[in-house]
Structure 1
Amino acid sequence: MEKTLRVACLGAGYFSQFHFDAWERIEEVELVGIADRNIDKARPSGHPAFINLEQMLEATSPDLLDIIVPPHTHLDTIRVALDHGVKAIICQKPFCASLAEARTAVSLAAKAGVPLIVHENFRFQPWYREMARSLAAGDIGDVHQLTFRLRTGDGQGPEAYLSRQPYFQKMERFLVHETAVHWIDTFRFLLGDIRAVYADLRKMNPVIAGEDAGYIIFDFDHGVRAIFDGNRHLDHAAENTRTTLGEAILEGTTGTITLSGNGALHLRPFGENATRTLQEPIAWRGFAGDCVFALQRHVVDGLLEGRPFENTAADYLRVIEIEEAIYRSASEGRKEGV
């Protein structure tokens, strides 16, 4: 198939490997460059390597820029990309360093007529796509509650996070800003918009700057609730705890869906003990059910075929607003409307 979309990536840290692999598997894409201030990190990919963004944009003239660097760099990066005529941008989460910066980025992209998508990939994990299908089919009747228990098992001791993403230790906002935002977005994908939150957050590991455990209760319309129960010190039953990062249970009037740590989904009808399998665990390529590939495939389809995008930055502002409300709730000890 002819390569019709030129893609360049900024950032060659730990998680970028999943982006590179996914782009290489999309037939319509040509990965034309990778930039990192440590160019030795970019070179092993085998693609043209650059030491800074401007150099890469001028040399490659990409259609799409994939931003895979920390939040404090996002706004300036988006400005530079727009100034160089990039036609579409994907930006990793957490999106920008603040809500004000995120709003500015959205405004700049809108004025330029450039699609700006947040790389929020958890809603693209196959188990959540199957949950959404099952909900739409009415498999569990009227939804009452969704619970997710985050148990990554990587947060204990002085060496926590250092081998993979050492900057985690220095994030003053950690569990919610870096991790729970995945489920703010996923809960909205499954259940609709969030109306109020209540949060109890705490720091368990003294060597890190931010919180690493806590509970968040989300209110939705019609009395529906969701609970995020996160603790990065504890683990769950899985060969790879980073497949699902925890376990979930979705409960309704006619049935219950459970997500196990290997990515399997099971449905138990109300009043029965037997379950049927909605999704078998398989050896997914890439990260967490190959959700990086699924998101990037979704964006390519949107650009080439005119399909609507999920996770536009404009819509993602709502996720950041909810995140801010969670931190206010934890600080003030009360429920916050959003």
Structure 2
Amino acid sequence: MLQVGLIGAGYFSRFHIDAWQRLHEVNLLAIAETDESRREILASELPEIKLYGSAEDLLSENQLDILDIATPPSAHRTILRDAVNGVKMIVCQKPFCVSLSEAEEIAEMVKGSKSTLVIHENFRFQPWYRKIKSIICSGELGEVLQAQFRLRPGDGAGVDAYFDRQPYFRNMKRFLIHETGIHWIDVFRFLFGIPQTIYGDLRRLNPEISGEDAGYFIFGYADGQRAVFDGNRLLDHSADNHRLTMGEFVVEGTKATITLNGDAELFLRNRGEKEGQKIDYDIGLKGFGGDCVFNFQKHIADFCLGRGELENSVENYLPNLVLENLIYESALTGRRCRVEM
């Protein structure tokens, strides 16, 4: 059994807890949470798990195979410095650290240690993106020329935006891209690779928050392909659950087009045809976002048990942060940026 410790018990950590508990070769041994009221709730709901008021106490009193860090970015550096060399596998939630320079500092520290650091970027593990990737690789679409994701969660309007779920969103100076768009930076990389150019256009629509909550970025590729992220957190889309896919996606090729709707249904329309055919696949309706947290954490457990290759190691993930910075630079200057990596 892999022994797991979790640091942070905020809103999203409940998905981490659920996923670890559903993995048969994993034991969620301990949780650290600084908020006493949250610890009291955990004590009543999960009496079998050891609870701590600090990350330091959890790390000093337990031998862990995996440390799962589910805290806001401002806490990452301190926890990682304490954990490196003491835990073989460390998983850290995104957004990773507070800046690219801090993330690079941590990556360099981990490079010379006994630990492996992986960033908890789970959207590429959503089943619809895995299915789209397999169809692209099969050649069924022909040459992919265009892709566009329209982010429309509909949760960012009004004076109370984000209070119910993740109130710290309101004070993030960089929001739409740093917190949310980073998912599609990674998804675009997963599906299409690293772009050659980036253009960004960002704006703030809700005056009650600090950062941008709407905008675009465009990835340009050497063969002329374009991948477009069109995000607006105030607007919604057609879906029973607006947080399942968080929007709609279209991938267009010379032979066929794939469409993802808000209910996670995939349709493939061959060129020249009027109607698309529904693609049969397991959407995965447990947990969050097609059970992507479970899929990701299973991926980590499998790797620790000697099964499979590792995705989203810190070395592999750092280019996402470089691309993020270029989006903000482009939005600030109004110019298209060239990607050098």
Q: Same fold (TM over 0.5)?
A: yes
TM-score (normalizing by structure 2): 0.96
* Aligned position for 2:21: 24
Determine the C-alpha separation between the residues in 1 that align with 2:251 and 2:239: 19
What residue identity is the alignment partner of 2:53? I
Whether 1:7 aligns to 2:8 is: no
Q: How does 1:316-331 map to 2 (within 5 A)?
A: 316-331=317-332
Cross-structure match for 1:310: 311
Q: Which residue matches 2:75?
A: 73
Alignment correspondent of 1:133: 134
- Confirm or deny: 8 A CA contact 1:266 1:279 kept in the other structure: no
Structure 1 partner of 2:38: 41
Task: Give the whole-Å Cα distance in 2 for the aligned partners of 1:42 and 1:27.
Answer: 25
CA apart distance, 1:278:
1.6
Match of 2:101 in 1: 100
| Deviation (angstroms), 1:316 | 0.8
Q: Is the 1:130–1:279 Cα contact (8 Å) retained in structure 2?
A: no
User: Shift of the alpha carbon at 1:282?
Assistant: 4.8
Give, in whole Å, the separation in 1 of the partners of 2:83 and 2:39. 19
TM-fit CA distance, 1:105 = 1.1
Q: Which amino acid aligns with 2:68?
A: D
Runs of 4+ in 1 over 4 A off after TM superposition: 280-283
Taking the aligned partners of 1:122 and 1:306, their CA distance within structure 2 comes to 21
Spell out, residue by residue over 1:251-273, the C-alpha distance to the aligned partner (whole angstroms, 9 max, x if none): 00000000000111110000101
Number of the residue aligned with 1:182: 183
Q: Structure 1 stretch 88-97 or stretch 103-112: which is displaced more?
A: 103-112
AA matched with 2:61: A
* Distance of 1:286 and 1:222 partners within structure 2: 38
**Distance in 2 of aligned mates of 1:185 and 1:175:** 14
Note the residue ranges of structure 2 that are not aligned, 5 or more in a row. Answer: none
**C-alpha deviation, 1:40, in angstroms:** 3.1
Q: Percent identity?
A: 48
Alignment coverage as a number of residue pairs: 334
How far off its partner does 1:60 sit?
A: 1.8
Report Cα offsets for 1:263-322 as digits up to 9, x if no partner: 111100001012222245756100000000000000111111153210111111100000
Q: Which residue of 2 aligns with 1:58?
A: 60
Q: How much does 1:104 deviate?
A: 1.3
Preserved CA contact (<8 Å) 2:147 2:226: yes
Question: Residues 117-171 of structure 1: CA distance to partner in whole angstroms, max 9, x if unpaired?
Answer: 0000000000000000000111110000110000010010000000000000000
Residue equivalent to 1:219: 220
**C-alpha contact 2:16 2:294 (8 A) present in aligned 1:** yes
